[in-house]
Structure 1
Amino acid sequence: MSKFGFLKVAAAIPHVRIADCDYNARQITGLIRKGADRGARIILFPELSVTAYTCGDLIQQPTLLNAAEQALGYILSETSQLPVVGIVGMPITYGNALYNCAVVFAEGRIRGVVPKTYIPNYAEFYEARCFMSGEEIGFATIRMCGQETDFGRNILFNLDGVKFGVEICEDMWVPAAPSVNQAVDGAQVLFNLSASPEVIGKHNYLLSLVKSQSARTQSAYVYCSAGYGESSTDLVFAGNGIIVEGGQILQRSERFSLEEQLVVADIDTERLITSRRRTTTFAPHRPNERIIVEISLPKNPADTTLDRWIDPQPFVPGSPEEMEECGNEIVNIQTMGLAQRLEHTNCKKVVLGVSGGLDSTLALMIAVRTFDRLGLNRKGIIAVTMPGFGTSNRTYRNALALMRCLGVTSREISIRKACEQHFADIGLDPTTQSSAYENAQARERTQILMDLANLEGGLVLGTGDLSELALGWATYNGDQMSMYGLNASLPKTLIRVLMRWMAERCKDDAIRQILIDVVETPISPELLPTEEGKEFGQQTEKIIGPYELHDFFLYHFIHNGYSPAKILFVAQKAFNDRYDRGTILRWMRLFFQRFFSQQFKRSTMPDGPKVGIISLSPRGDWRMPSDANADTWMREIDRLIEEEK
């Protein structure tokens, strides 16, 4: 797992008994063993978990403080043979004061103690009655359980190359959270020991804080709060184990559970580093002076399963609610982009080819929406169907029906005769059906659209999508070219879902049925004649592979910076019920080969709005020489293929 930068962490919510340190130590030890059996490398417990948080003034009693230290000694002894880092909360005396602390330990040794910086003393909290702030303790040493260890707020820990920091409860809720500085000083994982009671509406706010802290620090944030067993005299503790990465929840516990819980997830530390390197505003700062505690543990043989859900369609929203928000965002961005371009060029007309496929249908729907928003006559949308040698009856009928229902100007211009003349002019034998045979048709269609736009004083809308651009599945100076590329940053998997979403919200029954049929029609360039007796000729995904795989490769290569080996690893997890290892490798090899060889098409992309999280525009996210060498990636893929044999 560590080979690909994954770090398995856990948030453990034990049963506690108030002021019964022996019992609490046994519960903590039991959960550490369970976590180690799951392969966890770091296990976090709640605030003051050794004593329980709700001890009140008992927390100052020397008897309880001594019992807590003895309980820690028991935990150290019982877990010394386990390849895991534990983080528990307990009260600790230093000098003449008492501190609310996190104790980090591994292999029977205390590796460091971090005191709480911000001590709440408002509403239901009265911690300042007992505890001092650790704000003034940057670096110190303390003796506990017969060991000397580092003590202070300026400690970071380094577990086998992964840095992590610790803060306690209120520290996250303040404007200047310690974890912010910990992150900019290199901590990729942030741990928070908490004991936060429940009130109506607080949980959603807590979730927003945890996700926000993880997102803005580009880190993983592991939060663990006290649960069952804490005093209910005035408050109730629900038990919250939350593991978040880059603002996205990986795993969370059940609230208000009577059972102990262990929440486990794999954090992608490599992805976090890549994200920080890409975000140039993350790095510039004056680093704080810190102690870095080095921890090296033997490998855990139990760490063999990836405790992390891998989305097979990372571009597609995961719930109807998210799709509703995402769908509205997409159509609004595309509409505003086109509206601005039309007003800037003083164009009252657009020209686009409508094939009856996904991409051109979306572009037509956005054009209609834009014209309506601008108060322009829909007749200014000149939609052209250009049947050729491979045009199917199904796409042809859908194109004509949709144009008619939308009330746009419909034109039909066959490309057959023009292409036949062109074949004769250049000496092409049409029976060869070569790439020249196919590309001539695409270029003929583009020439018609460009010349028609000149004639009408309009703008040619491009319909090609992100997936096609990534693969170079477009004819250079054919469908690769336009005057404004509406769909250039939308991948095929998202367009398909978006089109169905638009159909579900369409009030016109006829248009809705057309959109649904477009979604269900196999994707095809329709450049080769269909064999007699068959409904469809070319099917793109049988030629170049499934778009869901190519979109998956694109996302993890560009957005996460994964190597081919790591892409294969997560793809096997994501698609284990649909594609075997050999199939994934076959199409991955084609993806990388085409991605590098076809960059020249992306280097000359027309303008178009960035809509999704990835754009391949040379003026946007992606800048790459057209003659960049793919050998490094291809060698790795070939090695993986050889291993498969």
Structure 2
Amino acid sequence: MGRKVILATCALNQWALDFDGNLRRILKSVEVARSRGARYRLGPELDVCGYGCADHFYESDTLLHCFQVLKELLESPVTQDIICDVGMPVMHHNVRYNCRVIFLNKKILLIRPKMLLANHGNNRELRWFSPWNKLGIVLFLIPDFETVPFGDGVLSTNDTCIGSEICAELWNPRSPHVDMGLDGVEIITNSSASYHELSKASRRVSLIRSATSKSGGIYMFANQRGCDGDRLYYDGCAMIAVNGDIVAQGAQFSLEDVVRRIHVSSRIPCHRVKVDFSLSESQDVYFPSHEPIEWRFHLAEEEISLGPACWLWDYLRRSGQAGFLLPLSGGVDSSSTACIVYSMCHQICQAVKNGSAQVLEDVRHVVGNAAYTPKEPRELCGRLFTTCYMASENSSQDTCNRAKDLAAQIGSTHINLNIDMAVKAILGIFSLVTGKLPQFRANGGSTRENIALQNVQARVRMILAYLFAQLSLWAQGRPGGLLVLGSANVDESLTGYFTKYDCSSADINPIGGISKTDLKRFLQYCADKFKLSALHSILAAPPSAELEPLRHGHVSQTDESDMGMTYTELSLIGRLRKISKCGPYSMFCKLIHMWRETCSPSQVAVKVKHFFRMYSANRHKMTTVTPAYHAENYSPDDNRFDLRPFLYNTLWNRQFRCIDEQVTTLSTLRQEALLSFQPYTAGTVHSETKPCSSRTIVLHKTQLPTPDCIKCMHARLVQTVLDILTIIKTGQ
């Protein structure tokens, strides 16, 4: 007969090095778990100190404060009579490990170090931790001179057996849960710090389902939630699986600090740590069967509206600032950033409406009004969000109107200003010193002059954005300052199609890891969901920086013509460069196959070489790029994710030579293939009444088949088929 156990897993919004805040959130989750009758509480990875401590893991202070928090957890009455599972770094024999500390009634039952570390993409665990590669259990002396079990072990209670995995171990082909399941472990826990990427949730769910579909049992997954203090957003998704079915699901995106899931359910041998404790009640004969639930996956455009918005809210409420300022150009990118802020306001209002006291307290703190209660997103957006259209003589009235219309529909405080006076003043200084005045290309200037004049406009906008962010609330008699938001997408970062230290330079950028293609889908989603009709004209307009002179009052400059390729092509190239790890030659070899219907090999070569010239020449811009929300695996962010040089030989001599040689080879083969299709014997007369006289095809090295030859060949083929059918029908 089965046993009923009550287990609790949670998603916590922990913050790196916020030891007191992290302690409060852990205790809150334990309190909620106990109130629901749970006998085991599982938290996310490194929830005591926060996952994103980075090089702070090297500091002895971090270890000290973790043990101080652990001591308070052990002594708290909230943690009694429930097995608690928390994460923190532990130093053993002068080696630092990423550990789970499992305790009950003021006694540490087991310290389980992580055995398989995450060391790819944004993860650098091998920089700070060592993997545990010893078999079984050793004794560990904790600071108060008590020895506790340390190592690869499982808990054996009076009624079941519980084993632990930590985050990346689930993703490994040799996951520990395989051996544990074969050795009779019935409950597997996973404490994770898995960050959000578009459509990543489906991979998690698939792995967790498979973990119990083969050997049975229960799998508990806990994850961090929120902005840990960096570019990453941890998206929760706490869940419980039973025998291959998902039976409990936590929200993927939430503004709450503590989100929990409670559920009732049923090689080398694992070293068992005996625990005189039961997860089930012996008197309880009620044993419900588990009910599978259907997991609802978000579309990519929904995830963009939720993940970056939650990330922005965490950043705003923790930064102590009073809102955001965005240079709103009326294009897809800046409009996407504006819509993400509006989505943030929408989620805040919904959380307040649902009775979240914590979110309401945070809103009141940000706006500086203890009596304020947000009623609807537009009204809240007006308090938190300022948009600014900075026109120049090169700006069109269309983009000005699009920015104004969108600002009106989302409710932001909107500013219109003109930057021409500032631009002319800067150029006047240059002219005074050098005696020369640069001209746009349209007015006879060189390429160098043209680019310099565009950059002056972009950089003036950055200076004005920060000026208004710092002082616009002061001018209104309101306290606080604003965070400047950036709006450069991931594809523009790949090619460096932006000005260094221009209005794309900001405090944070919610769309810096998102492709143009996904942003367009996101705007269409916002137009439908939030009824923002202004987005239709924004989506219909070709993307343009509007930094060159207008022609007859209309925009002549477009992003795609400047970059020499479409955003769709850029997105594919970015994935090949980062995810498929392609250099110039291997990328060319893949693209001549992928683009064979639309581009010749020589055209592909031109695009590949053009991309790598732009990429390598502008790579230095990534060293100063605005910290951006991580959403794509091909992000070029050099600070953490894309560890490539920023000084290249932009000629790519050998690489481009290999491409050229392959283009020549393919061209020769193609020509020979065309020449192999030869006409009939020379001298044959073609006409409708007199087809080719010869019945044999001969190779002719200098002449290709004429249309009349091809007609004859087709007619003969049809006649041959008819002859065969006649023979079959008559039996001859």
TM-score w.r.t. the length of structure 2 is 0.43
Question: If you compute each CA radius of gyration, which structure gives the higher value, 1 or 2?
Answer: 2
Q: TM-score, normalised by structure 1?
A: 0.48
